Every structure is written in structure tokens, then in C-alpha cells.
Amino acid sequence: MSEFSMKTLMFLALLGISLQGAAAVKHSLKYFYTASSGVPNFPEFVSVGLVDDVQMFHYDSNTRRAEPKQDWMSRVTADDPQYWERETEVSVRAQRTFKTNIETGKQRFNQTGGVHIVQLMYGCEWDDDTGEVNGYDQYGYDGEDFIAFDLKTGTYIAPVPQAVITKHKWDNDRAQIAQTKNYLTQECIDWLKKYVDYGRSSLLRTDLPSVSLLQKTPSSPVSCHATGFYPDSALMFWRKDGEEIHEDVDHGEILPNHDGSFQMSVDLNLSSVTPEDWRRYDCVFQLSGVKNNIVIKLDKAVIRTNWEKSSDMTVPITAAAVVLVLIFITAVGLMAYKKKKAKCPPSPPDDGSELSEKLNPET
Ligand SMILES: *[C@@H]1O[C@H](CO)[C@@H](O)[C@H](O)[C@H]1NC(C)=O
Ligand SMILES: *[C@@H]1O[C@H](CO)[C@@H](O)[C@H](O)[C@H]1NC(C)=O
């Protein structure tokens, strides 16, 4: 949802409809709790916090300490010396509550043993431009949605019959509902603004990528590859005679690099293009909030390959290819990790008490 809006904004920006030169206008603060039972070598409780999808908070049941994951998060103690102690206490309480939540989940599903996971994802979004805010608070159990708060109606949605008891219990606790609403639309937003301010120089930066043309074999599509950009709101496409083309074009996903930057590539199948027409094509990279595009003309001379051994470029080219392969492997690894994480998102049950627990975290 947030990603969609982000892309829409970016699209509008690229059309010149909006865009005041600012980078990301939509900010988010998200917390993920994962409680598990029966998973060897994995902490039974982990809590992570992200600002604009950058992890800045970590707690787990092995370390039993809430800790910053970004240098700029250390600034929070200048204004609030007790911050990390308080977060640690809140997390320890949440750990206890979530242990109970697992038991509740097992009862609801008539399970006795085995591996079980309760997840919670909650947080808020704030549009810097319009002031619009949104919040979410959703649980999962064993990788399936269990219960979610609907901020508009102020009620819980139970997609599975096992969560109906929880829904009734929580819907009837009007005081808790009011507190949840207040947290999601006020307190959470206040914290988000504070965090964005602390991390401004890092979160609001724009880094342009290096863009190159790559080709595996003489008959392969030409890949326009950009790596090292930030943030991930970017567009890349091929043009013919200055017009964006869609035919014979294959868009890859935006993938994270391990240094926090991103990469992407867009392939162009040239099998039906005559060599003299190649010069009519170019590849364009656009980063949201950055006026100047990066444009590379399709030219055999600038394509990096690893089959032509025509000159003393062989060694550097091979080295570059190795680096690219490594980046690719890293990206694939990260993607698999991301997918895995995304597959078993928030899914915990109830117990009433965890509501207050989860609402305290960053307050
Ligand atoms: C669990 O067991 C109870 C009692 O035997 C039964 O009524 C209920 O339908 C079962 N629930 C599930 C999810 O299997
Ligand atoms: C490129 O296009 C040709 C002809 O349109 C097709 O036969 C070929 O499979 C395509 N190659 C790739 C890698 O998609």
C-alpha cells in the first residue's frame, strides 16, 4: 500500500505534476515482533524497528537489550536519556506477552507441539506534503493473517474463525481502542517525525548509481544495469528515438545491496534490431527528487561483456564481471531472505494484554 502510493507519487513527480525538489515525501515507522517456539538456534522473541524501511532498532531474547541499528539513533538519548532502558523494559514485557500469545494460538488451533510463530506488525505513515497519516496494527499466526485493526472503523478484522473470540474481546474494550487510535495517529507520528529528523542526512539523501550496459553473449539481450542508488524510488527504461518503449523490454525488480543502496536492471532484446538502428536506442535512469537523469546511448563500444578478449581491457572487464556476479549473488540472497520474511509476516493471536504492550514500545 505504502509502496504503491510511493510509486504513484514518484510517477506524478516524473510527469512534472508535483515535485518540489524534495526526496521521499512519505515516511513510515514500522515495528515487527516475531515470537517463535520450537525453532532451534533462533531467539524466541525478536523485535525490529524501521524508519523509511531502514532498520534502526533491535531487541531479541538472547541479548535482552534494545539497541540502535543506525548511528543517528544514538541521538535520541540527547533528548531522552532513558530511551534505551525504557525500550528494553517494554521489549522484555512484550517478550513475555508473546510467549503467552503462542500458547493462545496453539489452543485456538488445537495444536499441542511443533513449531509456531506469532508475528505483529504495527506502525504509521506520514505524508510530509499533505499531512495525511495512516496506521496499522496486525497480527499473524503461523504465517497467516490472524487479526488486524481497521483504523477507519476502529474495529478489529478477523479473517479466520480462530480469531473471532479475540475480535470480540478487543472490540469491546473501547478504552484500549481509543488508546490504539491515539497511538497510531498521534504518538507514532510524533516519534516518526523525530526519528526522520535524527536520521535526516542519511534517510533523505539521494545517491545516484553507476549505470552500465552489460551483455552475456552476442545474442543475449542488452542489460542496462544501475547500482548504488538511494532511495529505492527509481525508474529505469529504454527509449527509441527519445520515446519510452515497452516491447522487447524486461524490467527487473529493485534489489537491495548490502551497503543499504539499491540496484536494478532493464533488459532490451535486440534480436530484431539491425546494427545501424542501435544508435536510436538509449537507457534512462531517473531517481525520485533528482532533476537530472542518467542517459546511456546504446553503443557496442560501451557494452561490457565477458566474451570479447580483444584488448588489454580483458582483466578489468573480468574483474568487473566478477564484482557484478558477486553483487548479483548478494542480491539474490537478500531477495530470498526478504521473500522468506515477507512470506511469514505478522500473525499473532490475542490475549488482550499484549495490546498495551505493543503500544508502549517507542513511546
Ligand atoms: C478444536 O477442538 C474443538 C473440540 O474438540 C472443536 O470444537 C474445534 O472445532 C477444533 N478446532 C479446530 C480449529 O480444529
Ligand atoms: C528475443 O526476441 C526473439 C524474437 O522476437 C525471440 O525469439 C527470443 O527468444 C527473445 N530472447 C529473449 C531472451 O527473450
| Model pTM score | 0.71
Looking at residue 299, which CATH number applies to its domain?
2.60.40.10
Is residue 247 included in any domain, yes or no?
Answer: yes
Give me the mean pLDDT over the 308-324 stretch. Answer: 47
CB-based contacts of 162, cutoff 8 Å, min separation 6: 105, 108, 109, 141, 146, 349
Task: Give the number of the ligand closest to the Cα of residue 272.
Answer: 2
CB 291, CB 19: distance < 8 Å? no
Beta bridge partners of 214: 223, 304
The number of angstroms, rounded, from the C-alpha of 252 to the middle of its chain's C-alpha atoms is 17
User: Strand order of the sheet with strand 133-141?
Assistant: 67-68, 54-60, 45-51, 26-37, 116-127, 133-141, 144-150, 155-157
CA-closest candidate to residue 257, choices 141, 322, 338, 359: 338
Q: How many domains does the chain have?
A: 2
Return the ligand 1 atom nearest residue 108 CA: 13
Residue 53 — φ and ψ, nearest 5°? 65, 15
Average pLDDT for residues 111-129, to the nearest whole number? 95
317 and 333, same domain (yes or no) = no
Residue nearest to atom 10 of ligand 1 (CA): 110
**In the chain, % of residues over pLDDT 70:** 78
Residue 151, domain member (yes or no): yes
Give residue-wise pLDDT tens across range 228-260. Answer: 999 999 999 999 999 999 999 999 999 999 998
Residue 272 and residue 307 in one domain: yes
Residue owning the nearest CA to atom 12 of ligand 2: 269
Single-letter code of the amino acid located at 216: K
Give me the count of residues in the chain.
363
Domain membership of residue 1 (yes or no) is no
* Distance in Å, CA 214 to ligand 2 centroid: 17
Q: Tell whether 320 and 230 lie within a shared domain.
A: yes
Phi and psi, residue 86, nearest 5°: -65, -45
Closest listed residue to residue 34, CA positions, set 340, 363, 245: 340
Rounded distance from Cα 32 to ligand 1 centre (Å):
30
Q: Which ligand has an atom closest to residue 271 CA?
A: 2
Q: Is 110 in the pocket of ligand 1 (CB under 6 A)?
A: yes
State residue 205's pLDDT score: 92
Question: Does residue 75 sit in the same domain as residue 116?
Answer: yes
Whether 149 and 37 share a structural domain:
yes
Residue 138 has pLDDT above 70, yes or no: yes
Give yes or no for residue 164 having a pLDDT over 90: yes
**Do 196 and 264 have their domain in common?**
no
Mind listing the pLDDT tens digit for each residue in 82-112? 999 999 999 999 999 999 999 999 999 999 9
Tell whether the model's pLDDT for residue 263 goes beyond 90.
yes
Same domain, 347 and 216: no
- The domain in which residue 131 lies consists of 6-202+326-359
- Please give the torsion angle defined by the CA atoms of residues 177, 181, 184 and 188, in that order, rounded to the nearest 10 degrees: -100
Q: 152 alpha carbon to ligand 1 midpoint, in Å?
A: 33
Nearest in space to 70 (alpha carbons), one of 229, 188, 198: 198
Band (pLDDT 50/70/90 cuts) for residue 25 is: confident
Cα gap 289→271, rounded to integer Å: 35
Spatial separation of the C-alpha atoms in residues 65 and 63, rounded to whole Å: 5
On the question of pLDDT at 345 being above 60, the answer is no
- Looking up residue 12, the CATH number of its domain turns out to be 3.30.500.10
Give the model's pLDDT for residue 359: 40
Q: Do 123 and 223 belong to one domain?
A: no
